[in-house]
Amino acid sequence: MHRLRPLFERRGGYSEEQQRLAGPGRVRRTAIGTFTQEDPIGLAGGLNLYGFASGDPVNFGDAFGLAADTIQVQVVRTGPTQYHTSIRIAPDDGTPAYTLGAGPKSVGRALLGRLTPLVSNRNRAGDTGPQAWRVTVDPGAQGDAAAIRNLQILDAIYCDCLPYELEPEPGDPNYNSNGYTRGMLERAGLPVPKIPYHVPGWEKPIPLPTWRP
């Protein structure tokens, strides 16, 4: 009969087997069912630094102990009543999580109400900040890999040419970062979550003809 190795080989330390079972990122203490070390990627993995696979290990994995292969809509507060959305992608291959988002090409012109285009970039500075809310998006039948690939392609081919406005009205030709996020989700065939905050432009997604597949 195989003899089970004890959790602790010595006071204050883990056995080599326990280390291997936990993965290279951090160690999980099976006796209490949680990690004893913070997530190596910090808050990029979520507010719970001791969490795993976005709290849903049935549907998501974390083979490297670094992140879950997930697609999330992230909402950050940028002002007293302003919220900015982006798409957060957290691969499970050990590479850092990153965001796909958009914003004004010239913040100064935008604040003065002057014309400036809505441009997209990875890991924009405006995508980070005091986190208000984050929700995981179900990729459905297409799966995580295909959905992530579609989002990457859409982000790469966006024209960076639509006029930007901080709070676009339904009848005007302008858009903002929240409309970009929603347009990306819809074009990639992903469900659009309901945002529990006042997010200007969320109800005005970038129209599909602006994409150049």
pLDDT digits (tens, 9 = 90+) for 82-125: 899 999 998 877 788 999 999 999 989 988 889 999 999 999 98
User: 189: alpha, beta or left, given left = phi > 0 and alpha = psi -120 to 50?
Assistant: left
Q: How far apart are CA 176 and CA 148, in angstroms?
A: 22
End-to-end CA distance of the chain: 59
Over the stretch 20-43, which tens digit does the pLDDT of each residue have? Answer: 444 545 566 556 656 666 665 555
Q: How confident is the model at residue 12 (pLDDT cuts 50, 70, 90)?
A: very low
Check residue 54 and give its pLDDT. Answer: 52
Check residue 57 and give its pLDDT. Answer: 53
Check residue 49 and give its pLDDT. Answer: 58
Q: Structure pTM? A: 0.67
Alpha-carbon distances, residue 155 vs 115, 121, 151 (angstroms): 22, 8, 6
What contacts 116, CB < 8 A, 6 or more positions away?
104, 105, 106, 109, 110, 163, 164
- 137: phi then psi, degrees, rounded to nearest 5: -100, 130
Asked if 188 contacts 200 with a C-beta cutoff of 8 angstroms, the reply is: no
What type of residue sits at position 51? G
- 39: phi then psi, degrees, rounded to nearest 5: -60, 130
Enumerate long-range contacts of 183-189, CB under 8 Å, 24 or more apart: 183/207, 183/208, 183/210, 183/211, 184/87, 184/100, 184/151, 184/154, 184/155, 185/73, 185/87, 185/137, 187/150, 187/154, 187/211, 188/147, 188/150, 188/151, 188/154, 189/140, 189/142, 189/147, 189/150
Check residue 171 and give its pLDDT. Answer: 86
CA geometry: angle 62, 68, 72, nearest 5 deg? 170
Judge whether residue 53 has pLDDT over 70.
Answer: no
How confident is the prediction for the chain on average, in pLDDT? 76
Check residue 177 and give its pLDDT. Answer: 96
Percent over 70 (pLDDT), the chain: 63
Element of type H or E holding 135 = strand 131-136
The residue-averaged pLDDT of 47-58 equals: 55
